[in-house]
Amino acid sequence: MGTLCAKCGNDNDLGKIFCTKCGVKLDLSAVTSEDLIAIATPSWFKRNAKWIAIGAGCFLLFMFCLGMWPKKPLATKTTRPNARAAEQKIASLHRNLKMGESISVKITQVEANGYLMWRKHSMGVTAATISFADNMFFVRVNDTLGPWKLGPIRMAPRYSYDLTGTFLDGRLYYGKAHVGHLRLFGPAKKGRIKALTALFEKNKDKDIFKKLSKVKFRSKEATLTVGKKR
Ligand SMILES: [Zn+2]
């Protein structure tokens, strides 16, 4: 509600002295000082805009950190015999491939995790774990960032990423990717696939993994085949 112009009837905003339409001096006798204080005082939101922005920023940062929070490895109890069983099966793939024969071996989830657990040092990560389901696998890498030095403080925050994938027609395909609890898309997802591939490049059995012609995933086990496709 403003001040009506006596000449042209224009409704002028409170605080105006001359009509904004025709320029005639307005009759301000009805305007009280309370009215003017009300328009001169910024709203609560305007007065606290800085703090609201800082609060919103902190909240978003908190949610982001919560989302980035690492997930636990998929398997924790693995034994050296499990690892050895998987190593022997992979060695038999090597031997048969050299002789040009096609062979399949069944590796259980426990054996696969044993294998990964005993090779994590060569891969340079805290943990790499895997789980098998019908027609797909789920792999998770736990590691630390940095270390970063901030004055006397040494920081090495933990993080995890995971990827789902499947093996079709002699090729590996990746599905969903996450860092912590945050789903990744596009270049971020591609980056994680590259990171995982780089990890496996450090493995001494990488050649055999590249020559897999078929991999069948079932609940808690995977059947690896090298040689001619069947
Ligand atoms: Zn006017």
- pLDDT per position as a tens digit, 59-106: 999 998 888 889 999 987 788 889 999 999 999 988 888 888 888 999
CA of 3 to the centre of ligand 1 (A): 10
Tell me: do 146 and 178 sit in the same domain: yes
Q: Is residue 93 part of a domain?
A: yes
Q: Is residue 212 part of a domain?
A: yes
Indicate yes or no: pTM above 0.85.
Answer: no
CA of 18 to the centre of ligand 1 (A): 8
Q: Is residue 75 part of a domain?
A: no
The tally of domains found in the chain comes to: 2
| pLDDT of res. 228 | 65
Q: Average pLDDT over the chain, rounded to whole?
A: 89
Tell me: do 212 and 136 sit in the same domain: yes
Residue 5 and residue 27 in contact, taking contact as beta carbons nearer than 8 Å: no
Q: Is residue 73 part of a domain?
A: no
Containing H/E element for 103? strand 103-108
| pLDDT of res. 8 | 94
Query: Which residues lie across from 137 on neighbouring strands?
Result: 132, 165
Tell me: do 100 and 170 sit in the same domain: yes
CA of 30 to the centre of ligand 1 (A): 17
Higher pLDDT: 47 or 179? It is: 179
Tell me: do 202 and 126 sit in the same domain: yes
Tell me: do 23 and 110 sit in the same domain: no
Range of the domain at 121: 80-226
Distance CA 47, CA 41 (A): 9
CA of 15 to the centre of ligand 1 (A): 15
Which of 44, 24, 30, 21 minimizes the C-alpha distance to 2? 30
CA of 4 to the centre of ligand 1 (A): 8
CA of 12 to the centre of ligand 1 (A): 8
CA of 7 to the centre of ligand 1 (A): 5
| pLDDT of res. 43 | 81
Tell me: do 221 and 120 sit in the same domain: yes
